[in-house]
Structure 1
Amino acid sequence: MGLTYQRILLKLSGEALMGDLAYGIDPEVVRSIAQEITEIVAEGVEVAIVVGGGNIFRGVKGAASGMDRATADYIGMIATVMNAMTLQDALERNDVQTRVLTAIEMQEVAEPYIRRRAIRHLEKGRVVIFGAGSGNPFFTTDTTAALRAAEINAEVVFKATKVDGVYDADPKLNPEARRFQSLTYSYVLTHDLRVMDTTAIALCKDNNIPIIVFNLSVSGNIRRAVMGESIGTIVGGSCEII
């Protein structure tokens, strides 16, 4: 089976890097993710990544505790850079050239985000990791993923999560919950399914970028998604339920 997608935007939550830990980064999980990315890069896939920071600091929670929201969000952005650098290190240990580009300048540790530079890195076969979100408070890393995907002309957004798709009910609470195979953007928005935040969904809808939601913890799922196998749920098609 050949490649279905040539240039992808992979959205990783900060929690995805925790594994079973209560806080921080599990090196084994990072190594596993890096290995899967290494395999698809070797097949010629151009990979851009947006990583969250919730395993270290989440701006919304900081604001809920009384912190100024903008300040809390900036701290969260810095947390994403820590995760980006950790993932960069794991990829480069696999001899994959990787560049971290940040929306907040940190020139001693990463390059500033410049759209044309990011695209050039991808064309040269380098993995690009976008850190510091969009550089603006009040916007999530989901929105950053949709924005960067549109900017670099990515063909798809892969939303790697801890569940195997989008359900019509919470599968933890309802054992009869059914998984959607595909969904329209409008259905996600009108039914508030929380696949990604509404701004991210709207951006993908406006730019006709499909979103594929799948379980990151299943080994080989990133490659299966790149190859076009039917895993998880695709947002951007018709509404079909399994």
Structure 2
Amino acid sequence: MSETAPATAFKRVMLKISGEALMGDQGYGLHPPTVQRIAEEVKSVHDMGVEICMVIGGGNIFRGLQGSAQGMERTTADYMGMLATVMNALAMQSALESLGVFTRVISAIPMDQICEPYIRRRAVRHLEKKRVCIFAAGTGNPYFTTDTAATLRASEMSCEAIFKGTKVDGVYDKDPVQHEDAVRYDNISYDDVLTKHLKVMDASAIALARDNNLPIIVFSLDEPGGFRGILAGKGTYTTVGG
């Protein structure tokens, strides 16, 4: 007999993770066991009846800003970074579907042979049918990060919160890896994140979330069961806004 899923206050959420989260202990690329572990985390929340959107960065394969810093023209570098996010999205789709979770990869840059183009009403319908929607290729425009893309898509999809999976269990006043006396916030305002220059998301994403009153929940993706636990009202995390 299956375990009864715990009640959750959220019906539709956005999960934003970095591309680096998929490379495990490697310095580059995809680490299949790590991809599978994250897919299992997503499935555990999907099993609660929550509708899930995802945006995955591309920094494990190519980061536009790094390419630009090495002399590559910024627009070209950003488009290459967008294509990297499509590769990550396809890897996550494969892992989720191996677990029996129906998934759609939806790209802001049309590439019909491998994924769907972004059409808002169609994406909403996929969510209503309990398919996980992975939004790839950022916003489709250079000079915008995947943080901004996640906030934009979360707003368009009427998500109730953005879950930002990181390597630490919330937002700290300084880097907890380098400073033992770092203090974690339980709650912090959008404006404080901006004025204190806390590295939660880039400023455009924070401002867009603030303008749409969209809370950002920062938690550790490395904590097994952390995503599901927070949705069930447990765990350690920081809420930005809300």
Band the TM-score falls in, shorter-chain normalisation: over 0.9
Quote the Cα distance in structure 1 between the aligned partners of 2:224 and 2:176: 21
TM-score, L = length of structure 2? 0.96
Report the equivalent of 2:3: none
Q: 2:36 is aligned with what amino acid?
A: R
Q: 1:208 is aligned with what amino acid?
A: N
Say which is worse superposed, 226-235 or 110-119, in terms of deviation: 226-235
1:121-177: CA deviation from partner (whole Å, max 9, x where unpaired): 000000000000000000000000100000000000000011111111221222111
Report the equivalent of 2:161: 156
Report the equivalent of 2:9: 4
Quote the Cα distance in structure 2 between the aligned partners of 1:36 and 1:177: 28
The question of whether the paired residues in 2 share the 8 Å contact of 1:224 and 1:231 is answered with: no
Deviation at residue 75 of structure 1 after TM alignment: 0.2
Quote the Cα distance in structure 1 between the aligned partners of 2:211 and 2:232: 25
Report the equivalent of 2:26: 21
The question of whether the paired residues in 2 share the 8 Å contact of 1:10 and 1:158 is answered with: yes
Which of the residues 61, 64, 70 maps onto 1:65?
Answer: 70
Which of the residues 203, 207, 214 maps onto 1:202?
Answer: 207
Quote the Cα distance in structure 1 between the aligned partners of 2:153 and 2:122: 13
SS in structure 2 opposite 1:105? coil
Quote the Cα distance in structure 2 between the aligned partners of 1:198 and 1:148: 16
Quote the Cα distance in structure 2 between the aligned partners of 1:234 and 1:15: 23
Report the equivalent of 1:240: none
Q: 1:233 is aligned with what amino acid?
A: T
Alignment of 1:136 with 2:141, yes or no, is yes
SS in structure 2 opposite 1:137? coil
Alignment of 1:216 with 2:194, yes or no, is no
Alignment of 1:22-171 (within 5 A): 22-171=27-176
The question of whether the paired residues in 1 share the 8 Å contact of 2:170 and 2:184 is answered with: yes
The question of whether the paired residues in 2 share the 8 Å contact of 1:5 and 1:227 is answered with: no
SS in structure 1 opposite 2:186? strand
The question of whether the paired residues in 1 share the 8 Å contact of 2:7 and 2:48 is answered with: no
The question of whether the paired residues in 1 share the 8 Å contact of 2:40 and 2:99 is answered with: yes
User: For the aligned residues, what is the CA RMSD?
Assistant: 0.9
1:7-31: CA deviation from partner (whole Å, max 9, x where unpaired): 0000010000011001001100111
Unaligned runs of 5+ in 1: 238-242
SS in structure 1 opposite 2:218? strand
Quote the Cα distance in structure 1 between the aligned partners of 2:45 and 2:217: 16
SS in structure 2 opposite 1:47? strand
Number of aligned residue pairs: give it: 237
Which of the residues 168, 186, 203 maps onto 1:181?
Answer: 186
Deviation at residue 99 of structure 1 after TM alignment: 0.2
Report the equivalent of 1:190: 195
Report the equivalent of 2:236: 231
Deviation at residue 188 of structure 1 after TM alignment: 0.6
Identity %: 56
Deviation at residue 229 of structure 1 after TM alignment: 2.5
The question of whether the paired residues in 2 share the 8 Å contact of 1:5 and 1:228 is answered with: no
Quote the Cα distance in structure 1 between the aligned partners of 2:163 and 2:48: 17
Quote the Cα distance in structure 1 between the aligned partners of 2:50 and 2:176: 33
Deviation at residue 230 of structure 1 after TM alignment: 4.7
SS in structure 2 opposite 1:186? helix
Deviation at residue 108 of structure 1 after TM alignment: 0.2
1:100-130: CA deviation from partner (whole Å, max 9, x where unpaired): 0000001000000111111000000000000
The question of whether the paired residues in 1 share the 8 Å contact of 2:151 and 2:205 is answered with: yes
